[in-house]
Amino acid sequence: MSNRAKLFLPVVFFLGMLGLLLYGLGRNPGEVPSALLNRALPAFSKPDLLDPARTVSVDDLRGGVFLVNVWATWCPPCHVEHPYLVEISGREPDVTFVGVNYKDDVEAARTFLAERGNPFKINIADVDGRLGVDLGVAGAPETFLIDATGTIRYKHVGVIDNRVWQETFVPLLAELR
């Protein structure tokens, strides 16, 4: 390389870095990916939120498409998301909606579902948050899609609204069926 050519190295390096930063602008730095993607749903055994005498285990989430929504009454965005979940749960008969009530006051959670509608066929009470840790949950709401083989196929962090549902979940569900 000639001596003059070497002087172009800084500007070339800088343009490369600019490209990287441009790429960086188009993405969301806050979303932590799930390490469990395309892996089996971890084994668990937790009490039913509405019927504490009953135990829900991983075997109850087999043989169909499941949408697992991690929620809590202390989480304001969950309140926003709830009506939409109620709405779509009625529209999607072949998807089983599962609610994981995460680190919540169980009584408050029952009242919440009684008053605002219960979109979930299965309700799991995760009072100590262990199931949340096993799922790699970092907060609420988070939503997982489980396929018929019990494999986690997608994780969504944040509120599900009509746009997210139509753009992300509908195509994925079509694929899973």
Residue numbers at the binding site for another protein (CB under 8 A) = 3-4, 7-8, 10-11, 14-15, 17-18, 20-37, 74-77, 80, 103, 129, 132-141, 157-159, 161
CA distance 149 to 95: 14
CB of 90 to another protein, least distance (A): 23
Q: Which residues have C-beta within 8 Å of that of residue 2, sequence separation ≥ 6?
A: none
| Closest by Cα among 139, 135, 53, 133 to 98 | 135
- 58 token code pair: 């991983």
Residue (114 or 138) nearer to another protein, CB: 138
Residue closer to another protein by CB (options 29, 93) is 29
Using the minimum distance from each CB to another protein, give the nearer residue, 12 or 148: 12
Does 76 sit behind a cis peptide bond, omega within 30 degrees of 0 on the bond before it?
no
Q: Minimum distance from CB of 175 to another protein (Å)? A: 17
Which residue number, 80 or 148, has a Cβ lying nearer to another protein?
A: 80
**H or E element that contains 90:** helix 76-91
CB of 100 to another protein, least distance (A): 14
